[in-house]
Structure 1
Amino acid sequence: MKRTTVTRSMLSMAAAAALVLSTQAGPAAADPPAAGCLVDRLEQLRALQHRLDGLALDGLAGAGQYWYVDHQRCALTIGMLRGAADPATSNFLATARLTPAPVDIVHLGAAIRPRLARGPAADPNSRPPNGFHGGSTIYSGLTGTVFICTAGFNGYRPNTAATAGHCARDASTWYDGTGTLIGTVGQYRFPDADWAVIPAAEGLPLAGDIVDGNSTTRITGFAKPRLHDRICATGASSGTRCGTVDAVDVTVNYPEGAVTGLVRSTQSGAAGDSGGPVHIGSTGVGLISGGPSEGAPTFIQPLNF
């Protein structure tokens, strides 16, 4: 992976718009620890992020995959699909380079997408006993090829299950592994955000935990993830994998539209994990949203809905 660092030249006024680009193979060289961005610089970076968000919301971000303010480096980090040179991408990068604040461009080998999957309908042997659990595989139908996602937390809103908003965008009715009706989507947001709540079908007991194989984790409360938190997430395809939050307030430019306010973590994942619960011990903090088709990073919808 290549990282390109962009800074504004500080020579003459005639050269004020010139950019100095330095590229090195592999990860970016480590900077000295930053005491934090000065207020003016931080405001510049946030304003730039909002301008880029506006382009993405208008479908003009080209191959820009994600971007966020990196407080440690005091720069805006942009993940770009490697090799893209279309006009929209060029214009997007030109906008990014108009700021006097530094911009770090990370070249990506794979696109960032929601982690929805398609596959065969429910397996009647896959559901754990004693109710419906967070972390369970959920299906959009009972026969043939269907959409597959993961249940998030039960009870984040009373008497509801949760999953990713892009799952609800593609299907309104969801079933568990035995073909038992979970419910019909009540509310969802995608793009812009990525969450959905499903009021439980009559008689469906909602367990207050998340399940991975034969083990369960009781969830006793909810919070929002913070930078450097050590988190674990459970997905239908990946099981439980853990990592560290390395960016917050991330904009992700999915093919279906931009989603703002996400969190990036170092854990890997795969298609089918969408909507899965993200937690710190017994505290729920988010839902799996997307990432590359396989691997890291993983982008997370915080529990703020």
Structure 2
Amino acid sequence: MKRTTMTRSMLSMAAASALVLTTQVGPATADPPAVGCLVDRLDQLLTLRHRLDGLALDGRAGDNQYWYVDHQRCTLTIAKLRGAADPATSAFLRTARMLPASVEVLELPAPIRPRVARGPAAGPNSRAATGFHGGSTIYSGLTGTVFICTAGFNGYRPNATGTAGHCARDAPTWYDRTGALVGNVDQYRFPGGDWAVIPAAEGLTPTADIVDGDSTTAITGFAVPRLRDRVCGTGAASGTRCGTVDATDVTVNYPEGAVTGLVRSTQSGAAGDSGGPVHIGPTGVALISGGPPEGAPTFLQPLNF
């Protein structure tokens, strides 16, 4: 299996139950600087976020779960696990409060985790593997307890499907619910990013659509999600759930390592949804990455790899 941290250019790209420790945080807003946030102040916030990212990449973020800069409100928002007061968590927050008037802290009732599941394998089946759809459940093995994720978009990379990078880290080979081979992971990134590419196995025919129950949605192009976009994602556990993008360029501190550049959506989800395709009508925009054990928010990997 080939692992890479390289990316390529594509089309230009709240927690509902959170307790606010400081002033109530409103929805995140547009990426460009807005009136009221001076360029110098925004530069300070972005520099601070970069420093926090470095601490997280070194494993020194403690139980702080995610953070991002809100360009319009000119604030840095940090979400920490409720009640966490260990030395690493506290030191991280002290660093963040270098700009105390611009830092807001949320407390979350549950940790943010990748949305991979463990469960029984799909049973082998003699049916030929044809018409493999995005949004299909995929399994890391054919017997016993295995990892369960969701196939992303077919055709984002030629003759390949995708899924979350943490799924690829867990297992190199994936099968569909009939027991047919989907393929072996060729490229992935996790942590840092959260994406994987799985070239289609011989005899598999990836279709340019997303399946949800008995219906499919054709995918005709790709882009990246923008603030306030209304998006819908399909996962093996949750089916199709929709929500609104309320923060971009979010760093999520997963137990396995930090992932930067994610998007936060108000859609709900659960374990097993990892890698699922997120779209706006016929346009694919992201893959499902993680969130709390159940519910919202859901963090998404944009299609920028």
Residue 174 (structure 1) aligns with: 174
1:4 corresponds to 2:24: no
**1:303, CA displacement in angstroms?**
0.3
- 1:49-198 → structure 2 map (5 Å cutoff): 49-99=49-99, 102-123=102-123, 130-198=130-198
Q: CA deviation at 1:35?
A: 3.0
Structure 2, gaps ≥5 residues long: 1-17
Asked whether the equivalents of residues 169 and 190 of structure 2 are also in contact (C-alpha less than 8 Å), the reply is yes
Deviates more, 1:114-123 or 1:228-237: 114-123
Task: Name which of structure 1's ranges 114-123 and 218-227 shifts more when overlaid on structure 2.
Answer: 114-123
Residue in 2 that maps onto 1:238: 238
* Contact kept in structure 2, 1:152 and 1:163, CA below 8 Å: yes
Q: Secondary structure of the equivalent of 2:193?
A: coil
Q: How far is 1:129 from its partner?
A: 8.4
| Paired residue type of 2:263 | V
Within the alignment, does 1:217 sit opposite 2:254 as a pair?
A: no
The CA deviation at 1:124 is 6.3
SS at match of 2:178: coil
Letter in 2 for 1:236: A
Q: Secondary structure at the match of 1:60?
A: coil
Do the aligned partners of 1:61 and 1:89 also contact (CA within 8 Å) in 2? yes
CA distance in 2, matches of 1:28, 1:260: 21
Could you give the per-residue CA deviations for residues 178-232 of structure 1, whole angstroms, max 9, x where no partner exists? 0000000000000000000001111211111000000100000000100000000
Does structure 2 conserve the Cα–Cα contact (< 8 Å) formed by 1:61 and 1:88? yes
Aligned to 1:14: none
TM-score by length of 1: 0.89
Q: CA RMSD in A?
A: 2.0
d(CA) in 1 for partners of 2:159 and 2:153?
A: 11
Q: Is the 8 A contact 2:129 2:205 kept in 1?
A: no
Partner residue, 1:267: 267
Q: Which residue of 1 aligns with 2:247?
A: 247
Partner SS for 2:224: coil
Q: Does 1:257 align with 2:257?
A: yes
3-state SS in 2 of match to 1:56: helix
The answer for unaligned runs of 5 or more in structure 1 is: 6-21
1:112-135 CA distances to partner (integer Å, 9 max, x unpaired)? 00000000111569x998510000
Percent identical: 77
Is the Cα–Cα contact under 8 Å of residues 268 and 297 in structure 1 kept in the other structure?
A: yes
1:155 deviation in Å? 0.7
Q: Hey, what's the Cα distance between the residues in 1 that align with 2:25 and 2:233?
A: 27
2:296 alignment counterpart: 296
Show the counterpart of 1:19.
none
Partners of 2:189 and 2:221 lie apart in 1 by 23
CA distance in 1, matches of 2:91, 2:232: 38
AA matched with 1:43: D
Mapped partners of 2:55, 2:219: distance in 1? 39
CA shift for structure 1 position 37? 1.9
Residue identity opposite 1:251 in structure 2: T
Structure 1 residues 119, 143: closer, same or farther in 2, change over 3 A? same
Tell me how far 1:36 sits from its aligned partner.
5.0
- Say if 1:97 and 1:211 are closer, same or farther in 2 by CA, change over 3 A: same
Where relative contact order (Cα < 8 A, 6+ residues apart) is larger, the structure is 2
Contact 1:41–1:101 (CA under 8 A) maintained in structure 2 = no
Q: Check 1:194–1:30 CA distance in 2 against 1; reply closer, same or farther (3 A cut).
A: closer
Query: When the two structures are aligned, how many residues end up with a matched partner?
Result: 283
Partner of 1:155, secondary structure, is coil
Cα distance in 2, alignment partners of residues 36 and 103 from structure 1? 16
